[in-house]
Amino acid sequence: MAKKRIVVLTGAGVSAESGISTFRDSGGLWEKYDIMEVATPEAWARNQDLVMEFYNQRRKQLYEVEPNAAHYALVKLEEKYDVQIITQNVDDLHERAGSSCVMHLHGELKKVRSSVDESLVYELEGWELRKGDKCAKGSQLRPHIVWFGEPVPMIPAAAELSSTADIYLIIGTSLNVYPAASLVGYVQRGCPVYLIDPAEVNVMHIPGVKVIRERAGKGTAELVDELLKEA
């Protein structure tokens, strides 16, 4: 019999216990940096050095952290389920833990791309993108990140995937950023939806959601054990 499909939407909270800052919690990145100065196409046009430095620091940190219990629990879930991860995170901790299917909605820190042709995407060697690093067409390389105000090219595929879920998990996201936050709207009626987050998240638009007020490490490991028993 075919395995049931579990679609998992993750946000910054799934990587918090690895030591990566979230964005909107107290002490989060958007308290220390102005989104408009580092994460928009206008910021890039205005001050490439500042934007490159912001993402260089994020990338450098990524080489210093490891996946945590939540990432590993999602790998274990593959023993009995077809697990499809949709992540808003630009880190590679799901992949490093061993998850097979990971879709990045907001780009990937370890990749860079042409600033004139978005199909020219490269793996960056090491953590540092420098001024003068060019694509094959001669333009400055930029971080492979979906900035605020830019379209999210993976949304149609993520919406389609969400509509095929037998079970839907949401882990560690404030659900503040659209269109990612609207993906749960594509889930079929009757599909169980679980949300794991230690803080209160607005779930008004998710009828019947089972909220688990735990940190990702503990909450995900416990839910995965339960789901594996049920399978």
Q: What is the DSSP string of 90-151?
A: -S-HHHHHT-S-EEESSEEEEEEEESS-TT-EEEPSSS---TT-B-TTSPBEEEEE--TTS-
Q: Are 129 and 135 in contact (CB under 8 A)?
A: no
Instruction: Report in angstroms how near the CB of residue 90 gets to ligand OAD at its nearest.
Output: 7
When CB distances to ligand OAD are compared, the closest residue is 13
User: Closest separation between CB of residue 204 and ligand OAD, Å?
Assistant: 15
Question: Which residues of this protein are in contact with ligand OAD, per CB under 6 A?
Answer: 11-13, 16-17, 22-25, 28, 39, 88, 106, 146, 172-174, 176-177, 197-199, 201, 215-216
Q: Closest approach of Cβ 146 to ligand OAD, in Å? A: 5
The residue among 99 and 174 lying less far from ligand OAD, judged by its C-beta, is 174
Q: Which of 84, 97, 103 is closest to 3 using CA atoms?
A: 84
CB 23 within 8 A of CB 186: no
In the numeric block, the tokens 């490159």 are attached to 52
In contact, 138 and 99? CB cutoff 8 Å: no
Which residues lie across from 171 on neighbouring strands? Answer: 10, 196
Active centre residues (catalytic) = 106
Whichever of 76 and 106 has its CB closer to ligand OAD, that residue is 106
Residue closer to ligand OAD, measured from CB, 17 or 108: 17
Report how far Cα 208 is from the mean position of its chain's Cα atoms. Answer: 24
Return the number of the residue (22 or 99) whose C-beta is nearest ligand OAD.
Answer: 22
User: Considering the complex, what minimum distance in angstroms separates the CB of residue 14 from ligand OAD?
Assistant: 6
Choose among 154, 135, 182: nearest CA to 90: 154
